[in-house]
Amino acid sequence: MKQREVTAIDNTTWTCVQAYAAVNSKAAEKANDLSESENGEVPVVCTPSGGAQTVRLQLPKNWLEAYSDEQLLQEIAANQGA
């Protein structure tokens, strides 16, 4: 499972992972394919180290490589409480 950790200014460390990425099975592959949106985005779940609430994002398939830490933190901030 590929995941990414980023730390915000308030020292909250966020661990982000694509939904269904941890499961190795045909059902998980199908769920992964079905969860991809028409514009090529996939669901990503970011879990905080502190008291903040988990945040769900829709990001491009290549978010692990293409997004900088700052971009990922901006997405998290924009979707907190959504």
Higher pLDDT, 23 or 6: 6
Give the pair of three-digit tokens for residue 47: 């879990």
The mean-pLDDT minimum among 6-10, 20-24, 53-57 falls in 20-24
Range of the domain at 70: 3-79
Name the 3-class secondary structure at 63.
Answer: helix
Answer yes or no: is pLDDT of 32 > 80: no
Give the residue-averaged pLDDT of 15-36.
61
Residue 59's DSSP bridge partners are: 42
CA distance 14 to 42: 18
Backbone angles phi, psi at 9, to 5 degrees: -60, -35
The domain total for the chain is 1
